[in-house]
Structure 1
Amino acid sequence: MSTHMIRYTVAPDQVAHNEELLRTLFAELAELRPDGLRYEAFKLADGVSFIHLVSHDKPGHGPVPHLHALKAFHTGLHERCDQRPARTELTGFGTYHPLDA
């Protein structure tokens, strides 16, 4: 399993647009339900920084690069950002999901 964290900061006037693009991405993911993928996105308390956590069991970037909504999200991303995306590979030590029980 491969897990990555992507962190970036958008310009204040781009927050609503970024959120709408993320809603569209998650709607497409919900429709297609790609196997072996876990994708989460968070907005930080500063209101302009975002973190995505992406885990998948396929080599490379996994099953999401072909998604139309992801391509739309990437279009103009660097122009929306005050701080460009930084991808970090993560090594997991465990997961606890009490609501899954």
Structure 2
Amino acid sequence: MKRTLIRYKTKPESADRNAELIAGVFEELKAAKPAGVRYLSLRLDDDSFVHFVETEADSDAIPKLAAFQAFQSGIRERCVEPPLARGVTIVGNYRMLGEP
């Protein structure tokens, strides 16, 4: 499994639109039901967003989604702090994520 954490901060006037675009990604994921994909997105009180993505190592299911491509389009213009992606290792998990 490949695990990635992405964080960024949107402009206050862009935060709601960003959240709408993310919701579209989740709608398409629910419809497509790609295997080997787990995805969580959080919006913080300061209009920062955090995404946690877990995929099979060779999965490209998320980038192929039309809703994800729409979300990616203009992301840098919506941000005051651009997206920063990092690989992560789960150190502990109590009922938040599915069991490995």
**What is the deviation of 1:58?**
2.8
1:17-32 paired onto structure 2 within 5 Å: 17-32=17-32
Gaps of 5+ in 2: none
Q: Deviations over 1:59-86 (max 9, x none)?
A: 2x63211100000000000000000000
For 1:12 and 1:97, locate their aligned partners in 2 and report how far apart those are by CA, in whole Å: 32
For 1:78 and 1:69, locate their aligned partners in 2 and report how far apart those are by CA, in whole Å: 17
What is aligned with 2:44? 44
Size of the aligned set, in residue pairs, is 97
**What is the deviation of 1:45?**
2.5
**What is the deviation of 1:91?**
1.3
What is aligned with 1:75? 73
SS of corresponding position for 2:53: strand
Identity of aligned residues (%): 35
Aligned-pair Cα RMSD in Å? 1.6
SS of corresponding position for 1:88: strand
**What is the deviation of 1:57?**
1.4
**What is the deviation of 1:44?**
1.2
Q: Deviations over 1:7-58 (max 9, x none)?
A: 0000000011001101111000000011010000001122x10000000113
Letter in 1 for 2:91: F
SS of corresponding position for 1:65: helix
Alignment of 1:58 onto 2:45: no
- Tell which deviates more after alignment, 86-95 or 21-30: 86-95
TM-score by length of 1: 0.88
TM-score by length of 2: 0.89
